[in-house]
Amino acid sequence: MVAHNGADYLPATLAALRAQTRPADVHIGVDTGSADSSAALLQLGLPAGSTVVAAPDGAGFGAAVAAGLAGTGPDPAGPDPAAQGPAGAADQPGAGTPAGVQDWIWLLHDDSAPEPDALEELLLAVETAPSVTIAGCKQVDWNNPSKLVDVGLTVSRGAERLTLIDLDEVDQGQYDGRSDFFAVNSAGMLVRRDAFDRLGGFDPALPGVGDDVDLCWRNRLAGHRVVVVPTATVRHAAGRDGSPSSATAARKSQIHLRLKHAPLWKLPLVWAGSLLGGLASLVLSIVAKDPGHGLRQLAATVTALLRPRQVHASRKQAAKTRRTSRRIVRALMVRPLDVLAYRRSLLESLNPEHHAVGDGTGTDARGGQQPTGGSDDFAALAAPERGWLGTGPVAAALVLALLAVIGMSDFLGVPALAGGALLPVSATFAEVWHNASAWWQSIGSGYPGPSDPFGYLLAVLSLLGLGNGSAAVVVLAVLAMPLASFGAWLAAGAVTQRRGLRLWAAFFWAALPPLQVALGQGRLGALIVHLMVPLVLLGLLRATGSAIQRTGPDAAGDPAEKIHKPGINGIPSWTAAAAAGLCLAAVTASAPALLPVIVLFVAVIALTLGRRGWTVWWALVPPVVLALPMLTAAGGNPRVLLADPGVPLAFEAAPPWQQLMGFPVAFDASGGLAAFGLLEPLGNGPWALVFALLTAVPVLLLAAAALFLQGRGAALARIAWLGALITLGAGWLAGHIATAVAPGAVVTPFPGPFVSLALFLLVLAGLVAADRVLPALAAPGRKAPGEAGRVLPVAAGAIVVLLAAGPAVNLAQWFLPQVAGYAAAGQDGSGSTPRPLADFGTRMLIYPSEVRTLPATAADRGNGQEQTRSLVMDSDGSGAVTAAVMHGSGTTLDQLSALYAARTLVGPLFDAAVAEGDGAAAAVRDSVAVIVAGTGVDPRPELTRLGVGFVVVRGTGTAAEVLARQIDAVPGLAPVGPTDAGWLWRVVPEQSGGEGSAGPVNGRVNLFDHEGNVLQGLPSGRLEAGGTIPAGNDGRILALAERADAGWQATLDGERLEATDAGWFQAFKVPAAGGDVRVSYYNPWAVWIGLVQVIAITLTLLLAIPIPSRRRFTPRRLDHIRTTGLDSSADELQLAAHEIDRDEAGRRTGGGPADAPVLASAGKEAQP
């Protein structure tokens, strides 16, 4: 008898052993380092003179048996079969023992209590069948003997240990006809001693689950029989620990058995198939919202596959005793179709189709009938039900949508928006996706490196816009405020169920300056962050089980009966963690500078909450894998990891105290308000400061009050404050790191996303306080007598009025200038405005635009097979000219690159300097200088190398007209005239000799002779190019209008062309022979990182898709049933996997569990 921490079961097991009708001759007890009284129980419970052996702690069942049998007979390692004479001689009963006496070993676990006639029935079975060397018992449940656990064991052809017993199957004698079976359970196993010794005992590589199957498997291969004796019954507490390690051990055993018993030639296939099976198990577990089980199964698979020594030793031992073909044993295994039918039966038992929630009326009421007879029965019946929960968010969204449509009526129906940091998005989804996934940046003269993660968000917007990303951006801008309100409403529901507070949170969040500034300045990334922050924090709260439980419909608002549902009451939710991860990916792609803050914040939550925090680690997977390409490319310039998406736009960051109040852009605290000119006659007061205080102070006071709360929500408030301060500090630090260069200034990360995240954390803390404070002040039952009884409700009303005033004045401050234009007039410095009027950075810089920002002719050639570039120039009227090389239909938002924007920034991280551009930038400057100077110098040689086929001057003012007249006289430029996108000239190729607007143009890829003359252009795509070139003279080069980089490759009829140094552009030496030329760009990181991204995002999407709760943990439950015949419900597994630390502390101290768990140490705080 082997015991390990079995003190709860040993007394009954030992009593059953003493009650045997045929007692055992010798009793041996083995204790494997039990921490309880198991060893003492064995000493006292076994017959006098019995041996009790102490095995090492953690020793498996096989090692314990070997320790107990040591010195009681032949060497357990067994004699060498080669020395036993003819094959089969040693297999006869009684061989090797005196006078034919045969020893038998009866193996018992500490939790396997045999029925009184069990041993007698086993001996009777083996005495009548001398070829049987192993016999086993029928296993029934320890607590419910009518419930079957197993009647013999079998395996699938994949070595799965199976019982073939249905869920909750009752013992009605239906399996009493079983005899010969593949294997039997080691609990109650009777094995002939000589056979056991020759087999070498249990396999030491299988210290737990599966050792019995392996012993019987080898026994079969040795030519012996294995039978189950249904009349011999054992009560067995199978799988009593319920720990995940049992399923892990079963998987490890399964893989080991596959490798051990497979033919040698099949080993590579079995190895690869097992690894793929582990990956498939992970995917299925993710779908079932139990990735922990899938990861453990995969880890067990990999561990078993990486034990070549153990596998070799096990195969060698099995080969020594094998006497029959594997085919004979294979015939005893369960067929695949039968395994599928068994699994289907188990699934139907786990997830019955008739399962219903509630009473079938569609309500979510739980439980059965409620007792009646109370005095409030009729009052409860007469009380009307509360209104529809969605009334608040719908009303808020409608109001805000109306304001947005009126305030941005100029944007309705426009094809695109531009201005500030915003540009149109490429016209098709394919173009957006190419720009998002490419590792060569098609902007200017090209630049090596991966695209910004924000490109994938633009691809999603393009997909939602049915391929029209610009239209999706217009819709997003117009609906930003209602969308923000809806997200805040949802997130507020995680900390309060009071609809008034949730409605206030919706309006407050939709009216805040970070959203208005992002909208007005075209900062699409900051806008998306503001929309996503509430959803991120909601996901994290639910991922850790920290969201509050919805209250019942009773008027008193008492909490409903505590339910075990992922996301609340301390039960973590993998689905919420995955959803939070997807939202975090959107946030960090929109504001990459937030990634370090997010990682730190999530790590603090995970480490603080212990087991409840395991789920939030998954929330870091999507943002980290999305940032992987930039992480690999940022080694030489780490500032690119912090750059905002969009056109670099200079700003003046607000000081920290203004950011704490919710303002990302600095304002003059002593100034007036651009939106409220009526206040100016009242005096030159600091109206801007008054406005800021009215907006932020009520929320900050409530959030500060939350720090002094005890009990529910207190820990959340403290973590929210900590997160807010860290976020604002990180924003201040990031404000000292230059990430891009704008005209006349260097640009740092915009503080708007930091302010949004910090402010919503404080909103959550404020909601916690308001949920506790306001009812305490206003509730009639808690009023103080006399004067205090009148003051408290008044104070509550004043707080409500102040809270409502903030969103109201914020919306007015944004709305009035949009319809009246007063903000713009006030900032023009007119004589009627004696001092600055603050608009808090919300003035509209964006304007309606076309998706195509180049003239149609230039756009057609830019998107054609020439891939012609356009040199676009702007004049500011002072003589200064800025220029840029544009691709396709014009530079789009998805073409912008943080790597490209930061290419000229050098020096220390906090002390950047702007360096001179490289050769490509110099070529652009030289070309512009030649064109603008009007000296008669031909600019075409440099323009040809740049791939420029058109010159565009934007603008319609006097400065543009003057510049246009100068360019008309430049040789080689054929005037086309004014267009809808500016003045246009065609660069006439030098070899064409023609003028006009419809002739050939310069292309991206050209073949030059040894003197630098263009011989021909090659058809080209965005990256690849190819075509046929004729034979010619030596010295030719193939040149690309792209910066030189080692990733460019070219072939001629499949043979690699040698790259040559021709200057700033990429060039290849071309031999005299002609043929088919192919040009491409290759980065070794692209495929592997792309594969990691696809796998991680796909798994996260699978995990984020909700499923019915009864289907959760299905793979784990199936594994448990297949190996033990017992089942645990999804709720039981949920509770076992995620025990609430606070409740544990309460039970240890004799108290009850605390209220709904809310983050961190909520359970360790004193209740009020």
Q: What is the pLDDT of residues 43-63, one digit of tens each?
A: 999 998 899 999 988 788 999
pLDDT at 370: 42
Are residues 621 and 599 in contact, defined by beta-carbon separation less than 8 angstroms? Answer: no
By CB neighbour count within 10 A (0-12 exposed, 13-18 middle, 19+ buried), where does 1109 fall?
middle
Please tell me the distance from the alpha carbon of residue 947 to that of residue 1041, in angstroms, as a whole number: 5
Residue 861 has pLDDT above 80, yes or no: yes
Residue 120's pLDDT band, with cuts at 50, 70 and 90, is very high
Least confident of 116-130, 659-673, 676-690, 803-817: 676-690
Q: For residue range 645-683, list pLDDT tens digits in order.
A: 999 999 999 999 999 999 999 988 877 676 665 555 555
Specify the range with the lowest mean pLDDT, choosing from 120-124, 569-573, 732-736. Answer: 569-573
82-86 long-range CB contacts below 8 Å, 24 or more apart? none
Listed in sequence order, the DSSP H helices in 414-559 are: 429-437, 454-464, 469-478, 480-492, 499-510, 513-520, 524-543
Q: What is the pLDDT of residues 950-961, one digit of tens each?
A: 999 987 777 788
DSSP one-letter code for 634: -
Mean pLDDT to the nearest integer, 583-609:
93
Does the pLDDT of residue 829 top 70, yes or no? no
Interval 966-974 mean pLDDT: 88
Between CA 742 and CA 750 the distance in angstroms is 13
Architecture of domain 2-80+100-350: Alpha-Beta Complex (3.90)
Query: Which tokens hold the place of 968?
Result: 């008309």
Count CB-CB contacts under 10 A for residue 896.
Answer: 25
pLDDT of residue 198: 94
pLDDT of residue 825: 37
Q: What is the pTM of this model?
A: 0.81
Tally: H helices and E strands in the chain? 40, 35
Query: Residue 338: pLDDT above 80?
Result: yes
363 or 737: whose pLDDT is higher?
A: 737
| Amino acid of residue 854 | L
Whole-angstrom distance, CA of residue 709 vs CA of residue 689: 30
What is the mean pLDDT of the segment spanning 131-150? 93
| Chain position carrying tokens 């940032």 | 627
The rounded Cα 466 to chain-centroid distance in angstroms is: 26
Residues 110-119 pLDDT 10s: 999 999 999 9
Q: What is the pLDDT of residue 665?
A: 92
* Average pLDDT, integer, range 194-208: 90
Token reading at 340: 């599928």
Predicted local confidence at residue 248, as pLDDT: 83
Give the domain ranges of the chain: 2-80+100-350, 393-552+562-838, 1005-1084
- Report the interhelical angle of 499-510 vs 787-820 (nearest 10°): 30
Question: Where do we find the tokens 């029209």?
Answer: 468
Phi, psi torsion values for 152, nearest 5 degrees:
85, 160
pLDDT of res. 381: 37
The mean pLDDT of the chain is 82
pLDDT at 796 over 70: no
Q: Which residue has the higher pLDDT, 802 or 137?
A: 137
Tell me the per-residue pLDDT of 394-451, one tens digit each, with 9 for 90 and over: 988 999 999 999 989 999 999 999 999 999 999 999 999 999 999 999 999 999 999 9
Q: Which of 151-155, 797-801, 1130-1134 is the most confident on average?
A: 151-155
Contact predicate 573/617, CB 8 Å: no
pLDDT at 1137: 44
pLDDT for the residue numbered 1115? 59
β-sheet bridge partners, residue 827? none
1005-1084 placed in CATH 1.10.390: no
pLDDT band at residue 828 under the 50/70/90 scheme: very low
Residue 873 tokens, joined: 């120039």
- Stronger pLDDT, 687 or 497, i.e. the higher one: 497
Give the position of tokens 């003589």: 879
Count of other CB atoms within 10 angstroms of residue 1087: 11
Strands 28-31 and 2-3, how do they pair?
parallel
871, 970 in Cβ contact below 8 A?
Answer: no
In this prediction, residue 551 carries a pLDDT of 57
- Model confidence at 1163, pLDDT cuts 50, 70, 90, reads very low
The whole-number pLDDT of residue 2 equals 94
- Window from 113-127, 661-675, 719-733 with minimum mean pLDDT: 661-675
Half-sphere exposure of 57 (CA within 13 A, CB side): 5
Q: List, for residues 988-1043, the tens digit of each pLDDT value.
A: 887 654 444 444 678 899 999 888 888 888 999 989 999 999 998 888 999 999 99
**Which one, of 265, 263, 278, lies nearest residue 315 by Cα?**
263
Strand, coil or helix: 1155: coil
Instruction: Give the pLDDT of residue 362.
Output: 33
Q: What is the phi/psi pair of residue 171, to 5°? A: -75, 105
- pLDDT per residue as tens digits for the range 202-241: 999 987 788 999 999 999 999 999 999 999 999 998 766 5
Lowest mean pLDDT among 252-256, 597-601, 821-825: 821-825
Is pLDDT above 50 for 560?
Answer: no
CB contact at 8 A, 493 and 506: no
364: pLDDT strictly greater than 50: no
Least confident of 394-408, 732-746, 787-801: 787-801
